[in-house]
Amino acid sequence: MALPTEQSPAGGYKKEIVLVIGLCCLIIGFLAGIVFSIYKTPVGGGTTKVAANQPEAPQAGKLTAEQAQHLLQLELEVQKNPNNTEAWTNLGHLYFDSDQADKAINAYNKSLALAPNNADVLTDLGVMYRRAGNPQQAIASFDRAVQANAKHETARFNKGIVLLYDLKDQPGAIAAWQGLVSLNPMATAPNGQLISELLKEIQDKKGN
């Protein structure tokens, strides 16, 4: 039997209760966003700590006027010079930031056809495959990134996210994150929690 809900004399919910419930919902929603986050490779490297503290910017689906102009310039550039690896990569980044996953995938693949072992591009490609609803391809891209650069922490972290939440492969996610921790014992999740602590929590729940 459901417990009665505390009400005010007028029959409505007490203001304090509504405020508390609303605050709790906001907190839960915020934490869920952290847990399910997956990250773009940060500029200058692929450490998980940097990626965790650097949200995708600008907000997905939005470009500044300057970025929109740059996107048009890059589209013209790759038409005239299809072997311009950097242009394809930067075009992929702008499609990434404007939430055009299919176009980003195409641009990144063009870049990788010219420079196959760019771990950063492979990692960002994996993020786009996940956003496009293709987690298996995302995993394949992250694996290629790790093959190209065994120390690429963002690729390892993202692989664990996709395995755990998209493919429901908990053992695979644990293995991915164990590899990350062996590489960097101080690697952290987006909320600042050590990956080693996160692994322990997952394993403890698995054992119960």
The domains located in the chain, with CATH, are 33-207 (1.25.40.10)
pLDDT category of residue 35 using cuts at 50, 70 and 90: very low
Token digits of residue 202: 């997952």
Q: What percent of the chain has pLDDT over 70?
A: 70
**pLDDT at res. 26:** 41
Over residues 42-61, mean pLDDT: 40
Sign of torsion, CA 77 89 137 167?
negative
Task: Tell me the sheet residues that pair with 13.
Answer: 7
Over residues 25-37, mean pLDDT: 42
Over residues 146-168, mean pLDDT: 96
Residues 100 and 80: their CA atoms lie apart, in Å, by 22
**pLDDT at res. 189:** 83
Average pLDDT, the chain: 79
Out of 137-141, 153-157, 203-207, pick the least confident: 203-207
Over residues 76-89, mean pLDDT: 98
Instruction: Render pLDDT for 172-192 as a digit per residue (tens, 0 to 9).
Output: 999 999 999 999 999 988 788
Count the neighbouring beta carbons within 10 Å of the beta carbon of residue 45.
Answer: 15
Quick check: pTM over 0.85? no
